[in-house]
Structure 1
Amino acid sequence: MIAQPPVDADAPLNNFSNCHAGIVKRLTALDELPALLEPAARARQIAEESLEFFREAIFEHHLEEERELFPAVIASAQPGAELERVKAMAKRLTDEHRAIEALWKQLEKGLKPVAKGQSTRLDVSELHRLVTEYKAHATFEETEFLPLSEEILGRNSNHMAALGMSLHMRHVPPVNAYI
């Protein structure tokens, strides 16, 4: 076996070798960038679409239920236990609307920078809370309130037709009389 001469840590070539180790480390990190760009772009897209959707669709949906659906079902419910049940359900749903909207307003501040590709301190626990509460709200409405509403409004076809017409009129763009 041939003896190797002792390595001189101060030898000029060692400086080049040590530089390469640092460069390779940085390049390895840079090589991770493409895999991170797609999730970052998706985060911006989700935040941007959510900001638009929540204001335009969810707030409008809540308003429509409170102005059209809940009053129609309450007006058509039979006096007594049914009417009291419907009123309690409508109050619960309305209270949930306000709670969800308040939660959204808190989250909206953190989502705006995300939509712009900026870093933010998004409250992840509140975001999860919003999603969980809205899913529970929608489940209750779909499994309890809407079937009861259909039963109540279905007793009189005029009541269902009136609700349908009212909803239709809310969605028809106004006609300009001076065309």
Structure 2
Amino acid sequence: MSAKSSQQEGPIAGFSNCHAGILSRFERLKRLPQLLADPADLPAARQFADGMVRFVRDAVFEHHAEEEEALFPAVARSAAPGDERQLVDSLIARLTREHRELEALWAGLEPAMKNFARGKTADIDTKAVDRLCRSYAEHAHFEERVWLPLSERILKPNDQAALGLTLHLRHALDKVVAHI
């Protein structure tokens, strides 16, 4: 296995894969207004809304938590003192602020999405849907262009292995707790 292919399988690639999955789901969310416009599509729209509510809570918010609780601290610990550490700190502050902004955008949509999914009348703000989708895409693309390459450069192989183990244990613990 080449060094490049092993990097593609490491924890940084996992974050990138998460972005791809999230972006794919948000691309589908952008089509929700079209589904809402056609009464024949309402059952599919309700089912999609229900899945989206669970997806954002289970996948998007969890992805933000993993970045903030595992990736960001690992990169900050491994960054060289001085300019590199200042850059890392400023990027972490930006990305964390963007996470809260994205979560706030979702919080504005979630009640209507839940009501709609349950078959109740709900006015889903299609402009807010578009704003959320656009904002998430901008956020993920910035992480892909700037943050993840920087993280991969800063994190040495042992640091990446430790990060991978941390993420593995986090997921394993989630499964154990869910089982109990």
**What TM-score, normalized by structure 1, do the two folds share?**
0.73
1:72 aligns with: 74
The answer to whether the 8 Å contact 1:107/1:126 transfers is yes
**Aligned pairs (5 A) from 1:80-95:** 80-95=82-97
> Which deviates more, 62-71 or 165-174?
165-174
Match of residue 5 from structure 1: none
The aligned residue for residue 48 of structure 1 is 50
What is residue 135 of structure 2 aligned with on the other side? Answer: 133
Q: CA deviation at 1:132?
A: 0.7
Q: Which has the higher contact order (CA 8 A, sep 6+)?
A: 2
What are the ranges of 5 or more consecutive residues in structure 2 without an aligned counterpart?
Answer: 1-37
Q: Which aligned pairs between 1:19-168 and structure 2 lie closer than 5 A?
A: 36-153=38-155, 156-168=156-168
- Per the alignment, residue 12 of structure 1 pairs with none
- By percentage of residues, which structure has more helix? 2
Give, in whole Å, the separation in 2 of the partners of 1:136 and 1:86: 19
Per-residue CA deviations over 1:89-108 (Å, capped at 9, x if unaligned) read 11111000001111111100
8 Å CA contact 1:113–1:120 kept in 2: the answer is yes
Q: Secondary structure at the match of 1:172?
A: helix
Q: How far off its partner does 1:38 sit? A: 3.9
Q: How far apart in 2 are the matches of 1:120 and 1:169?
A: 40
Mapped partners of 1:171, 1:118: distance in 2: 35
Q: CA deviation at 1:81?
A: 1.2
Of all paired residues, the percent bearing the same amino acid is 47
Contiguous gaps of at least 5 residues in structure 1: 1-35
The root-mean-square deviation of aligned C-alpha atoms, in Å, is 1.8
**Kept in 2: contact 1:40–1:117 (CA 8 A):** no
One-letter amino acid of the counterpart of residue 165, structure 2: M
